[in-house]
Structure 1
Amino acid sequence: MKHPRAWLRDYALLAGALLGLAAGGTAHLSGAADLGNQFFTAVTVLVLAATVISSGRILICGEVRVDVIAILAMTGALLLRQYLAGAIIALMLTGGGALERYAVARARRELSALIQRAPRIAHRRVGAEIVDVEVEAVTLGDVLLVKPGEVIPVDGIIGSADAVVDESALTGESKPVKLEAGTSVRSGGTNAGAPFEVRATASAAESTYAGIIRLVGAAERSKAPFVRLADRYALGFVVLTLVLAGLAWALEGNSMRVLAVLVVATPCPLILAAPAAIIAGVSRAAREGIIVKGGGPLEALARVRVLLLDKTGTVTVSRPEVIAVETFGTRSSDEVVRDAASLEQVSVHPFAPAIVAEARSRGVEPGFPNNVREQMGSGIAGEVDGHRVAVGQLGFVVSGPTNIAELRSVELRTAVEGSSSVFVSRDGVLVGVLLVQDAIRPDAPRVLRSLRRAGIQRIHMVTGDHPDVAELVGDVLGVDRVFAERAPEEKVEVVRLLREEGSSAMVGDGVNDAPALALADVGIAMGARGATAASEAADVVLTSDRLQSLVLAVEIAHRTRRIALQSVLVGMSLSLLAMGFAAAGYITPVAGALLQEAIDILVILNALRALRGPRPTAPHGVDTKRLANELASAHRALKPHVGELATLASRLDGLPGPEARVQLECLRDMLEKELLPHEREEQSTAYPIIERMLKGEDPTGALIQTHHEIRRLTRLFARLVAQLPSEGPAREDLRDLRRVLYGLHAILVFHFAQEDELYSMLDARA
């Protein structure tokens, strides 16, 4: 970046060139040709001297710039008394520099906006008063007031009833989000609603936005390899220009043709176009919530052919959720969840939020526990409604051997699925188990398919998980290879191995990914925690926690590099063509100067196209984000009931007949009164929107056929239940009931996974 004094000098030279050219033209029109030529000469000498000084400094550093051609052209114009041509060259040179600076400033606008909006004052609550303090003075635990329209100064927890936050500067997400009390909030978002309080969980220097500012600073200081390549090409272009000029002299001995060739070659579009396009691409990425640390990583990303994905937090949501509840004995699944949530609401275990959320999704209100004792890594125990409840590992919740046949199937399921078991006991008796899993992101398979279409040839996954679990996730995602049971230091070896396959990128989100991110040709950090080790080690940071941003980053990189190459090749071709005509005598020095200026303007404007780009849009008049959230919420509410289909099927043999009939009737009512209405609503509202969005690639036909099969199995199940005697199912009924229950469970799990992936597209288009 140029020093402000250099910018002032350049603008002064441009103003002098304009005034001198205008004064000389006016003098010529008034008949004072000698005076006009003096003005032209003064302008040429002034710009020539400044150019010689600046080029000399660069030449001392070992670099050759195309300004050498401009020096030769202006010197030739003075020697051949082509004063007007010399003045036009001077104006062209200073104007081209100003045009380039405008392009760079326009391209950097998004990056500069991120820096300029950084808050400097925070409103700290001290007793009943609000005191303004410097942001740097905020410490952990301070309660801050964020007024409407203000930027949240530090990371913290919402202390008010709720808050409406606009995070578009961080994530590119245009619509404000509503955050409830107790929710974590990141610095850098804007208060889009009423005033609210935030309890600081980090200082300003350690907060998200400060980290992003540091990343932006690194991006602004960077210089792309493509631009360095362009600088190296300057020497070759200078030599080519001198050769053409020499041929023009050798053919005719006409010095005017030589001068015309030099004029047309000044300045070089190669030098102007490449930096403008690359910086424009970096700025476009910043507008979409993608921080690229300069042009180098952006160009490297465009060349990536091998992608390595970390599993946890990258292709999974990194937020555990309850996927099934198995019960042992007479207590229902809702009662087991209530017992567990009553204790987990005061626990610090990572699974606690998932269990409390499961209770909330079932409409179950947890009780308040007493005499709670938590043993880290084992479980938590306490009194709930006068009963002793324990939640955690099997050896913690019950003492002695447990002779429950269903435990074997639970152990087998967790081993195959990679889920974790959270056992629940009541008064020393095992009553159930919650299966908890870090779910795959719904949009992950679709994103990986999009990456392959964008030019990524091979996609691999690395994880510390057991090979059985890792291969299961890899199959769902469709990756080429899975590297399982790899420690953080071993991930570095995987990256080193994959670099032999071609230009590689590594995507991760944790501190343990930082070494691998640093080694990869392009390191990409997921999530908005700009101050983490992963973000600091990465070359690209996706500030939104959405995998779709990775596709957008790759597309921006490809488009930017394509526009830069296009600008260079078109500009150079036009310049060479014009030089050929000038050497043949068809272009005069004055006309050549005007023509070259037009070429420069053309390539600069073309390079600035990298600032824009097509964005996926939702159908007109449809709030796709709201619709996606509603459908996803309905799926979350129904999934526990879907899990009970398989659970009940496995327990039918051991249940008393009347109790089995009651539970079967409850499932029938759920299917008829909740599930089928939900499927009809999806088919009438969401499917038409998806069909319009995907145009010729509509997958909803297959989903509709799945709906038909779900309805058929539901009708069959309802008929089987209706025919049961009052004493419950006989042995001959159990086979048909289990077959239908297992069939419904399998098709609903598969169907929900398909729909979740499609609904993630609705959210991405919002």
Structure 2
Amino acid sequence: MNPNLVRQARWRALLEPLLVLVTLGALTIGGVLWLTGLREAADLWWMTGTLIALGPAVFWVVAALRRGRVGVDLIAVLSLLGTILVGEYLAGALIAVMLAGGRALEAAAQRRASHDLRALLEHAPRSARRRIGSDVTVISIADVAVGDLLVVGPGEVVPVDGRVVGSVAVLDESVLTGEPLHVERVAGEPVRSGVVNAGGAFELRATATAQDSTYAGVVRLAQEAGAESAPIVRLADRYAAWFLPLTLIVAGGTWLASGSAVRAVAVLVVATPCPLLLAAPVAIVSGLSRASRHGVVIRSGGGLESLGSATTLVMDKTGTLTMGRPVVLDVAAAPGNEAAEILRLAASVDQVSPHVLAEAIVTEAATRGYRLSLPHDVVEEAGRGVTGTVGGHRVRVGKSTGDGVDADWARATVNRARLDSAAIAWVWVDEKPAGAVLLQDPLRRDAPRTVRRLRSSGLNRLVMLTGDRAEPAREVANILGLDEVYAQQSPADKVAAVRAERERAVTVMVGDGVNDAPALAAATVGVAMGARGATASSEAADIVLTTDRLDRLADAMDTARWSRRIAVQSAVVGMTLSLVAMAVAALGWLPPAAGALLQEGIDIAVILNALRALGGNPAVEVNLSADTENMLRRFASEHDDLRDTVDVLRSAADSLVAAADQSALDSLIRAHSLLVERILPHEQAEENRLYPALAQPLGGGEATATMSRTHAEIQRLSDRIGAHVAVARASNAIQPDQIDDLLACLYGLHAVLRLHFLQEEENYFTLAEVDPGKSP
């Protein structure tokens, strides 16, 4: 930060409280002398306090004029001079205390509101410990190079972006994400700079310099985020432009009409200082602070105010509405092969590949707990895939070469991929096609609820821009209920579309990639999903979401509208009260001293009201107890564990379609056992524990009533399948008259469970800080 600005802030932090003490002391001593009968001495002390406040008041007016602003501090100067000229020294002393107190209160509010932004800057690491062999040395963070092996001790801040080496790292990422839960990163996983080591010491291989790391980008943005003159504040200046001459006209008219200079001074007193210029900046800075606590860095108050008045939202698809990284959708196996073994072999070979699809396959295998083998004789061909020897078998993972992928199972896999807009990684074992892994970029778990929140906050047009094909783009748009979709868009096309939307309304653009940077710059407000680092999109944006959660955009929108509403409310109410007091003073019913006390109360009231922007709009807050949040996380984790179990129902139905033989009966029995042992206990626990806990924060049992009805349907279909299993077991075969109803029950229950899981995840689980990396 600028050293001169730091010194000025320190002097101001000392001077303003000192001015309050001096003026309050002069008022108090004068009051004591007046009560003891020493009226002249009392007037002298009160006049001294008035003159002491007059100097800083003149300085503030001159400073405002230099910035091209004519504020109502000018009325304060005229009031102080007027009280001295007409001999109303007590009123002058009261105005002095009021002016000094209002300035100190405003400064304290700004300091409190910007605490989180200052903490972000102070949190920045300045050194790192580098290990070379067995020697560990402390170096400046600027000297860290890509590839350095760094040691991060307990409680230390991760200095640069890197990957964990060796032991598991337990991290507190709340500074960047606002999420309180500690996370674990295993060897090879990326770690962002700025997070805190909440466990034992671990080693980190640097993948970026300090300048190019995540936290450096956040700090640069935070340094720009402050109480700049937002449109709402400039609006306050425009109000002041007519409020000032109105005050002077009323004061002058009162003097001419009544012939009393005291009444004129009383009018000036109750108009000083106008709450308009106190309340608006405090509300805006409070909104910036609240946004920062939710993982949203806003460059300026102008960005906050514009966000609060936006009516159109344009969004990129990949990385914004979707996860931005592929996950395994399904594993298909050729006849005679097991899907689990296909995935294990593919992941073993892909361990050495940097390809994004390979990373997804390895991650899925690790999630399922498969033990991977180290491949030998690995060869990777760009654009084709990777080949290696695993357990004595030659395994290749990659694109199809056309050999052997025309079998029925392969054609079915291709059709499934086309329907689900999925990519295919084919797996050959010993030169024979053995299976395929389907991968898809899934919709963010929090996307549907976030879109609903954005609509309810005042956005009436939602548009998606994507470079992807039209089919997957339309599928996402249909799920989310978007108004317009533009597919196969180049960066230039995106800029043109954003400009067209901006001509019609205040437009917000959300993106995450380098190709989104021009569109972000073209929008009224650009919002970058900046969790992956300081990218070009982050630099071009007005707002950066430092955590990889789309719902933070809805939080920012709620904060912006709430802050803007409070700023206008505080300013208008304060100004209206001042106008009423001016009319009363003009009639001679409010002497200067009493008017000064009244105006002091008005100023304090509107500033305290503006500070409500720190808390957020209670109408959109959902307050969950710690037990309820833990319960939500537990059931979210169970959903991830049960997802494969749900697919067993479809597998049993597929077996029954192929043949109603002993294999189909075994699959049916296995599916029913999983229903009884795992799925039904999970659903019953949700019904009896989770839903009652959610009733109060969601406003009553109606919020979960439809989900309870789905639980009843799940139980009904499960009981029906159980009855079929009992009949089939009694005769040791599935009877022909059972097949149609069994297929309807199995496929129907599979669809109901998948939809039910999605509804719970979107409506309920996103209320808690569930791991954003997981997605259905």
Q: Under a length normalisation based on structure 2, what TM-score does the superposition of the two structures give?
A: 0.91
Q: SS state of the match for residue 351, structure 1?
A: helix
CA contact (8 A) 1:325 1:644 kept: no
SS in 1 for 2:268: helix
**1:172 alignment partner in structure 2:** 178
Alignment correspondent of 1:413: 416
How far did 1:18 drift?
3.4
| Partner of residue 158, structure 2 | 152
Give the drift of 1:282: 0.6
Question: Match of 1:610?
Answer: 613
Deviation string 1:146-203 (CA, Å, 9 cap, x unpaired) is: 3333222222222352232222222111232233333222222222233333222222
Residue of structure 2 equivalent to 1:121: 127
1:40 aligns with 2:31: no
Q: Is the CA contact 2:60–2:73 (under 8 Å) kept in the aligned structure 1?
A: no
| CA distance 1:755–1:29, shift in 2 (3 Å) | closer
For residue 641 of structure 1, report the CA deviation from its aligned partner.
4.7
Alpha carbons 1:211, 1:529 under 8 Å: kept: no
- SS of the equivalent of 1:206 reads coil
Residue of structure 2 aligned with 1:588, choices 576, 591, 594: 591
- 8 Å CA contact 1:224, 1:296 repeated in 2: yes
Aligned-pair identity in percent equals 44
Higher alpha-carbon deviation: 441-450 or 705-714: 705-714
For residue 562 of structure 1, report the CA deviation from its aligned partner. 1.4
Shift of 1:59: 2.6
Matches within 5 A, 1:432-511: 432-511=435-514
Say whether the 8 Å CA contact 1:226–1:299 is kept in structure 2.
yes
Find out whether 1:639 has 2:643 as its counterpart. Answer: yes
Question: Is the aligned partner of 1:543 residue 2:546?
Answer: yes
Distance of 2:660 and 2:537 partners within structure 1: 55
Match of 1:561 in 2: 564
Between 1:660-669 and 1:556-565, the stretch displaced more is 660-669
**1:91 has 2:94 as partner:** no
- What's the CA shift for 1:21? 3.3
How far apart are residue 44 of structure 1 and its match?
2.9
Q: Partner amino acid for 2:75?
A: I
CA shift for structure 1 position 522: 1.5
Q: Matches of 1:26 and 1:667 in 2, distance apart? A: 89
Q: Distance in 2 between matches of 1:617 and 1:510?
A: 32
Give the equivalent residue in structure 1 for 2:555.
552
Contact 1:671/1:714 (<8 A) preserved: no
- 2:693 alignment partner AA: I
The equivalent residue for 1:281 is 287
Partner of residue 336 from structure 1, selected from 339, 342, 358: 342
Tell me if the contact between 1:224 and 1:294 (Cα under 8 Å) persists in the aligned partners: yes
Residues 146 and 402 of structure 1: CA distance in aligned 2, closer, same or farther (over 3 Å): closer
The letter of the residue matching 2:351 is: Q
Distance 2:212 2:127 in 1: 16
Gap change, CA 1:736 and 1:585, over 3 Å in 2: closer
Deviates more, 1:587-596 or 1:384-393: 384-393
Distance 1:715 1:758, change over 3 A: farther
Change (3 A) 1:120 1:402: closer
- CA 307–721 in structure 1, closer or farther in 2 if over 3 Å, else same: farther
Q: Does residue 701 of the first structure (1) align with residue 704 of the second (2)?
A: no
d(CA) in 1 for partners of 2:68 and 2:51?
25
Aligned residue in 2 for 1:751 = 756
Q: CA deviation at 1:723?
A: 7.1
Q: Secondary structure at the match of 1:394?
A: coil
Unaligned runs of 5+ in 2: 772-776
Q: Which position in structure 2 is the counterpart of 1:313?
A: 319
Give SS of 2:248's match.
helix
Deviations 1:327-347 (A, max 9, x none): 222112122222212212222
- How do residues 656-667 of structure 1 correspond to structure 2 at under 5 angstroms? 666-667=670-671
**Other structure's SS at 1:152 match:** coil
Cα deviation, 1:464-521, whole Å, max 9, x if unaligned, reads 1211111111111121222211122211122112224422211111111111112111
The gaps in structure 1 that reach 5 residues or longer are none
Equivalent-residue separation in structure 1 for 2:351 and 2:723 (angstroms): 41
Q: Which moved more, 1:267-276 or 1:368-377?
A: 368-377
For 1:345 and 1:248, the matched residues in 2 are separated by 85
Q: Partners in 1 of 2:442 and 2:455 — Cα distance?
A: 23
For residue 649 of structure 1, report the CA deviation from its aligned partner.
5.0
Deviations 1:33-60 (A, max 9, x none): 4344334334433433443344234335
Report what 2:79 is aligned to: 73
Q: Which amino acid aligns with 1:760?
A: F
Q: Using the TM superposition, name which of 419-428 and 37-46 deviates more.
A: 37-46
Equivalences for residues 610-629 of structure 1 within 5 A: 610-613=613-616, 614=618, 620=625, 622=627, 624-625=629-630, 627-629=631-633
Seen in structure 2, the aligned counterparts of structure 1 residues 470 and 717 have a Cα distance that, compared at 3 Å, is farther
CA RMSD of aligned residues (A): 2.9
State the distance in 2 between where 1:470 and 1:219 align: 35
Q: Letter of the 2:72 partner, please give it.
A: V
Quickly say closer, same or farther: Cα 1:56–1:715, change in 2 above 3 A. same
Counterpart residue number, 2:774:
none
**More divergent stretch after superposition (684-693 vs 734-743):** 734-743
Tell whether the 8 Å contact from 1:230 to 1:270 is kept in structure 2 after alignment.
yes
Distance in 2 (CA, whole Å) between partners of 1:49 and 1:654 is 93
Alignment check: 8 A CA contact 1:20 1:42 kept: yes
Which moved further from structure 2: 16-25 or 154-163? 16-25
- Whole-Å separation in 2 of the counterparts to 1:283 and 1:619: 22
Contact 2:651–2:667 (CA<8 Å) still a contact in 1? no
Q: 1:670 to 1:389 in 2, by over 3 A?
A: farther
- Name the structure 2 match of 1:601: 604
How many residue pairs align between the two structures?
760
One-letter amino acid of the structure 1 residue matched with residue 230 of structure 2? A
